[in-house]
Structure 1
């Protein structure tokens, strides 16, 4: 029997200057930056809202804004530009808590509903054409490696979206892979484990903080309790070092504590449909065991209940582009700076594998991310933004967080505009020129 793949619905066509694929922090920043320059910009997003891992994955925090230090100097902000603009807009809605201690640095907890609304408002005000519930399924190529847009799926039918420049902000380098351009997955295919993050309601937060302190990384005494409870066989608690955050909502904790591996012990790779599905099942199972442990053993959680989990499991690492530059593992803790640095970060390396995530700190300093980390080695009319940047395994364990993704989108939005207006290939653009534009936008890269 002959089988043909058919969709008999009419194909709609959209022509745009810049197409952004993915509405996470990087995609939102890139789209708004580009449209403010007067270009026609289209953003497609598979969910009915923006936010990516911060919202769908419920990561719940804006990490990467503040310096780390051995000394208690309070929060020292190091990242500005679009990241600061979004943070201020979210805070004005009441959707962002003040800085809270996270080990040697600080982070800020957000309300995922208000994150969505803040993005909606900023995108609409700027004039970005947003298409929700839309997924790129094929890349349009002019010749062998010149990207001309994508074919996308929507409930209306197929969409042919033609663009002069495309920005892959999918998080998974989907467009890069569709185009057959150089990419890699983790450390020779090994990735960091996903996590199912959840929210716990009806917590006596005052009693909880009094018992365990204000550092959101729980103290060794809690890790010891988890180890003992797990060894007793009454709970399935594969991760002992956990992070619990008070939120903008009363009587609530944001819980980053699960460690999701496969039945065969592997770190699951969510690029694989079987692994992604297994991660969702296993993540929700672990949520129930951790919540039960909290009720049984943690002060203030005696009457708590799970009031939300991520729309999907939180993904830390999948496919990344091979860029004209690559952020190295050694660049992070060395605080390395680059002439074409277009983003800065003070965030530590957070490697998630085993029962205890490993955290390595960069103290009283920042490192920079060069522009070439977002420019594919081959291919035309394509840039990437977000956690699919070109970076080594440990480096991406620092570089993937929210504040930096805002910064990447800010930079790559400007790069796409230059490419369109000046008819330049992205690899012909000088990172120094982008740095100047970003500083004019308040990024303070030379502060």
Structure 2
């Protein structure tokens, strides 16, 4: 905006752009949903995104976790609208079940960006791209209510953004932090945590890429061969694997998590030297993307996602891993002899960063026990899926369908500030489930709805809004809050289910991982400057 725009330029050389009801910072899955939800409620809404497109990492990955491991539908609302609309237009697969991830949808990455912008515009949202968040604008409020610390509360009243147009100030009644890193909340002075207890290391990130030229029949047959163990969680359960293998004849999209023997053979031959010991990814098929695999094998150990030097080094490392992984697929994986690189994601997939401490904190026990809360505004059911911060493969804990309370989206000690997506208030373990795309869409929709209701009531304090009003608005919009019995997918009985207490799978995975991990401990040395 130029200096002649609304508000002009203030004394500090920062342009002012009037007041908004809701400002959403970050245009990934959570931010897109938050902005659309707020706009549909009638709030004057601004979405700020640093890239030249919206959707973030959700525009590069299949979407996992619409259902829990009992194949009950736990995410609907905007997430379901996006998936259904794309599928109806031929740009996404139908929902396919998966015994570990619940369910998944393969989404055409570019048509998802198109749809997201279209729905934002239809909701009346103003979208500013290439707009980099700089700092939160705050004021101190004395004798504040429930959200105060020591009788004083920090109220977020807006944000400053840097762009080609210069530094601009945007004032707003409520700000929703969907930055993924909790940038707004941290700038405002909110409490935060990062990484696992003890060493602070976060889940290893991945730069996703797509391979084309896959011989679907040959690759499917390899996946159906138990000797390849394409889905490693089923190794201790041969009867369940046989049922799973049968299902591959009837689906075009399925999750990959195995082939450890092939990776080990390539490593022993000197053909593959990466900090991953499995083929991880998704066999894709949409009308525009047949014969493809989304590869989720690159990884960096020891990353600090909020340190620019660490992030820059991480990009260098993951880009170097892609050519040898492509060669590995061609030389070792059945059906992939003619595989070729289609596309590399435009950004690193950071699974975990800062987590803002909220009025409530979502824990692993909440997930494992399937706890519900009176102020639940979203649900999840994806397993606790932790891509190990200091090793290969993943650690997994099965969960029950669980609720996400509004308090986990409200920053403790703050007024006028909500957060959604992977920077919500949760432990390291809990965010291993709540970070996946459909759940981020659900928490974004909840935060945007709560922000709009707060702003339209003339305030900035979300705690003044009755959570039941937020719940009613979400239910009216089609969100799933578990008010009635969760709907079981009609194909549920056709799919095998892993035991809830799946110790056998975890033990098998640990055994197959130990040797590779011992080799890869050197990968964390760069964090200390070695």
Q: 2:298 aligns with which of 248, 251, 258?
A: 258
Larger deviation, residues 251-260 vs 125-134: 251-260
Task: Indicate the residue corresponding to 1:78 in structure 2.
Answer: 74
What secondary structure, in the 3-state scheme, does the structure 2 residue paired with 1:278 have? helix
What secondary structure, in the 3-state scheme, does the structure 2 residue paired with 1:158 have? strand
Q: Is the 1:103–1:216 Cα contact (8 Å) retained in structure 2?
A: no
Task: Indicate the residue corresponding to 1:432 in structure 2.
Answer: 468
Task: Indicate the residue corresponding to 1:182 in structure 2.
Answer: 191
| 1:361 is aligned to 2:361 | no
Deviation, structure 1 residue 172: 0.7
Task: Indicate the residue corresponding to 2:511 in structure 1.
Answer: none
Q: Is the 2:262–2:333 Cα contact (8 Å) retained in structure 1?
A: no
Deviation, structure 1 residue 437: 2.0
Matches of 2:379 and 2:320 in 1, distance apart? Answer: 37
Deviation, structure 1 residue 307: 1.5
Task: Indicate the residue corresponding to 1:61 in structure 2.
Answer: 62
Matches of 1:80 and 1:99 in 2, distance apart? Answer: 12
Matches of 1:10 and 1:330 in 2, distance apart? Answer: 46
Q: Is the 2:330–2:337 Cα contact (8 Å) retained in structure 1?
A: yes
Matches of 1:232 and 1:90 in 2, distance apart? Answer: 43
Q: Is the 1:226–1:237 Cα contact (8 Å) retained in structure 2?
A: no
TM-score, scaled relative to structure 2: 0.77
Deviation, structure 1 residue 124: 1.0
Q: Is the 2:62–2:282 Cα contact (8 Å) retained in structure 1?
A: no
Q: 1:306 aligns with which of 326, 334, 341?
A: 341
Q: Is the 2:51–2:130 Cα contact (8 Å) retained in structure 1?
A: yes
Larger deviation, residues 335-344 vs 181-190: 181-190
Matches of 1:193 and 1:305 in 2, distance apart? Answer: 25
Deviation, structure 1 residue 99: 2.8
What secondary structure, in the 3-state scheme, does the structure 2 residue paired with 1:143 have? strand
Matches of 2:42 and 2:473 in 1, distance apart? Answer: 15
Task: Indicate the residue corresponding to 2:89 in structure 1.
Answer: 93
What secondary structure, in the 3-state scheme, does the structure 1 residue paired with 2:74 have? coil
Q: Is the 1:380–1:426 Cα contact (8 Å) retained in structure 2?
A: yes
Distance of aligned partners of 1:135 and 1:424 in 2 relative to their CA distance in 1, 3 Å threshold: closer
Task: Give RMSD over aligned pairs.
Answer: 1.9
Deviation, structure 1 residue 301: 0.8
Q: Spell out, residue by residue over 1:32-59, the C-alpha distance to the aligned partner (whole angstroms, 9 max, x if none).
A: 111112221110101111112212xx2x
What secondary structure, in the 3-state scheme, does the structure 2 residue paired with 1:259 have? coil
TM-score, scaled relative to structure 1: 0.91
Distance of aligned partners of 1:94 and 1:8 in 2 relative to their CA distance in 1, 3 Å threshold: farther
| 1:227 is aligned to 2:270 | no
Structure index of larger Rg: 2
Q: 1:116 aligns with which of 107, 113, 120?
A: 113
Q: 1:443 aligns with which of 449, 459, 479?
A: 479
Q: Is the 1:185–1:318 Cα contact (8 Å) retained in structure 2?
A: yes
Task: Indicate the residue corresponding to 2:364 in structure 1.
Answer: 329
Number of paired residues?
Answer: 425
Matches within 5 A, 1:95-244: 95-104=91-100, 105-143=102-140, 145-188=154-197, 189-213=200-224, 214=248, 216-218=254-256, 220=258, 222-241=259-278, 242-244=280-282
Unaligned segments of structure 1, at least 5 residues: 1-6, 70-74, 262-266
Structure 1 residue ranges, 4+ long, deviating more than 4 angstroms after superposition = 7-10
Larger deviation, residues 282-291 vs 393-402: 282-291
Deviation, structure 1 residue 217: 4.2
What secondary structure, in the 3-state scheme, does the structure 2 residue paired with 1:387 have? helix
Distance of aligned partners of 1:291 and 1:413 in 2 relative to their CA distance in 1, 3 Å threshold: same
Larger deviation, residues 167-176 vs 184-193: 184-193
Deviation, structure 1 residue 10: 6.6
Matches within 5 A, 1:348-387: 348-353=383-388, 354-362=391-399, 365-387=400-422
Matches of 2:440 and 2:163 in 1, distance apart? Answer: 26
